[in-house]
Structure 1
Amino acid sequence: MEWHDEGIILGSRRHGETSVILEAMTAAHGRHLGLVRGGRSRRLQPVLQAGNRVALVWRARLDEHLGTFQVEPLELNAARLLGSALAVYGIQTLAAHLRLLPERDPHPGLFETLGVVSAHLEEPEVAGRLMVRFELAILEELGFGLDLSHCALTGRREGLAYVSPKTGRAVTRDAGDAWQDRLLPLPSFLTAPSEALCDAAALKQAFALTGFFLHRHVYEPRGLAEPEARSGFIAALSRGLGEAAP
């Protein structure tokens, strides 16, 4: 068995004296693991860092085997990311979210989105907005997507201000004000054009929204705790935006 693909490295762990087991999100083969022989060498260690984009050749005798990776660098982003606490927490958070998906299950859209988010992780003004949208995409891929396109009660597409915690559907301000204590705030930047307000307060609401549904549909049913990297990312984001941590 053999395939060639492009991947973004999520992490690695030692294996034996000289090798590592590499984890990468690939374009056509999903999140995939493989053994890299000599992966702890001086030549390969800088290449096998989280956030780097690489060309991969995977080989195994049978499809269900771990297999081996041959790795060649395409974009060495790790050095740039390691210079920012926000970026370090960010790449760890992205990896944790992707581990919620079945291994080797293709998600080409998420691979492309991962590349966009990781390219801006050290930019607080952009990274928060992109991470929230990545979390929405993860919920969608897991079968728990939110419907933020129109009001569940009136069908209107304008004036959306809340999300029902029961259904994950949007509600307009006019229709939801009477029950606002039972609804989740919907920051306008998630439904409006890109120039919509996306300040620290709006991002706090957005992460509370995605966090609520991640806990309800993913973490709690699987007996998982929220990744520490996620709270670290949100705190670093608040510091980067000059606000108190949520």
Structure 2
Amino acid sequence: MEWRESAIVLGLRRHGETSVIAELMTRSRGRHLGIVRGGRSRRLQPVLQPGNEVEATWRARIDEQLGTYVVEPAELRAARLMESAVALHGIQLLAGHLRLLPERDPHPRLYDGLSLILDHFDNAARSGELVLRFEVALLEELGFGLDLAACAATGATEDLVYVSPKSGRAVGREPGEPWRDKLLPLPLFLRDPALRPAPGEIAAGFRLTGYFLARHVWQPRGIAEPPSRAALIAAIGAAT
């Protein structure tokens, strides 16, 4: 078995004296692990840093094996990412999010989102927006997507300003007013890719996605919210 594909490095762990097990995110094969012989060498250590893009060739006798990687540098972003607290916490969070998905399960939308975010970590406000859109997409890929198209009470598509914490559906301003203290604010930019976040919407967006990630993903699996998420939110707040 053999394949070759562009991939983004998510993480590493030691394997033997000189090798590593590389965790890569690919567009058509999802999050995929493999052994890199000599991965701890001076030549490969700078290449196998989280956030870098590589050309990876994977080989194994049968598909079910861990297999081995041969990697070549494609876009080395790690040095730039290490200069920013937003980027450092962001790549840790995104890797943690992707580990919620089954290994080798393709999620091309999330791969494309990851690639886009890595190119915008120098802009804290833009990073926050893109990470939030990534979390909304992650919920959808996990089967817990939010329905922000129309009001859950009336079916109207205008003036949607809340989200029901029970159903994950949008709620209009007027029908939601009696229960506003129990509803979650809906940042308008999450409904429209062309909109940029208004002041305060990044923080509201992280509360929204965090609520549903906790309810549907972290709590049922018995895991805590990643510390990198709070660190990222704080870093974005400090930089904007």
Q: TM-score range by the shorter chain?
A: over 0.9
Match of 1:223 in 2: 222
What is the identity percentage for the equivalent residue pairs of Structure 1 and Structure 2?
60
How far apart in 1 are the matches of 2:124 and 2:78?
17
- Look up the equivalent residue of 1:170 and give its one-letter code: A
Matched, 1:240 2:239: yes
Given the superposition, is the C-alpha separation of residues 196 and 43 from structure 1 closer, same or farther in structure 2, using an over 3 Å criterion? closer
- Within 5 Å, give how 1:172-187 maps onto structure 2: 172-187=172-187
Would the alpha carbon gap of residues 197 and 59 (structure 1) be closer, same or farther in structure 2, given more than 3 Å must change? closer
8 Å CA contact retained: 1:129, 1:198: no
Corresponding residue for 1:204?
A: 203
Structure-2 change in CA distance of 1:131 and 1:197 (3 Å):
closer
Does 1:79 pair with 2:73? no
Give CA deviations for 1:100-128 in whole Å, capped at 9, x if unaligned: 00000011111111100111123112000
Q: Which amino acid aligns with 1:92?
A: Q
Q: TM-score, normalised by structure 2?
A: 0.97
Aligned to 1:27: 27
Q: Distance in 1 between matches of 2:113 and 2:39?
A: 27
* DSSP-derived class of the 2:55 partner: strand
1:63-142 equivalences in 2 (<5 Å): 63-142=63-142
Measure, in 2, the Cα distance between the counterparts of 1:75 and 1:3. Answer: 20
- Displacement of 1:169 in angstroms is 0.2
Q: Supply the AA of the counterpart residue of 1:202.
A: E
Identify unmatched segments of 5+ residues in structure 2.
Answer: none
Structure 2 partner of 1:244: none
- Report the alpha carbon displacement of residue 81 of structure 1 after superposing the two structures with TM: 0.4
Partner of 1:190: 190
Provide the C-alpha distance between the structure 2 equivalents of 1:100 and 1:152, rounded to a whole number of angstroms: 29
In angstroms, what is the RMSD of aligned CA positions?
A: 1.0
Equivalent position SS for 1:34? strand
The residue type paired with residue 223 of structure 2 is L
For 1:192 and 1:77, the matched residues in 2 are separated by: 29
Instruction: Look up the equivalent residue of 2:57 and give its one-letter code.
Output: V
Partners of 2:72 and 2:156 in 1: CA distance? 50
Q: Secondary structure at 1:31's aligned position in 2?
A: strand
Rounded to whole Å, the distance in 1 between the matches of 2:129 and 2:158 is 21
TM-score (norm 1): 0.95
Output the amino acid matched with 1:36: V
Partner of 1:50, secondary structure, is coil
How far off is 1:196 after superposition? Answer: 4.4
One-letter amino acid of the counterpart of residue 180, structure 2:
Q
The aligned residue for residue 170 of structure 2 is 170
Mapped partners of 2:159, 2:44: distance in 1: 52
Partner of 1:155, secondary structure, is coil
Distance in 1 (alpha carbons) for counterparts of 2:142 and 2:207:
19
Q: Which residue of structure 2 aligns with residue 8 of structure 1?
A: 8
Q: Is the 8 A contact 1:139 1:145 kept in 2?
A: yes
- Alpha-carbon separation, structure 1, partners of 2:128 and 2:65: 37
In structure 2, distance between residues paired with 1:139 and 1:24: 21
Deviation of 1:197 after TM superposition, in Å, equals 3.9
The answer as to whether partners of 1:9 and 1:48 remain within 8 angstroms in 2 is: yes
The question of whether the paired residues in 1 share the 8 Å contact of 2:92 and 2:228 is answered with: yes
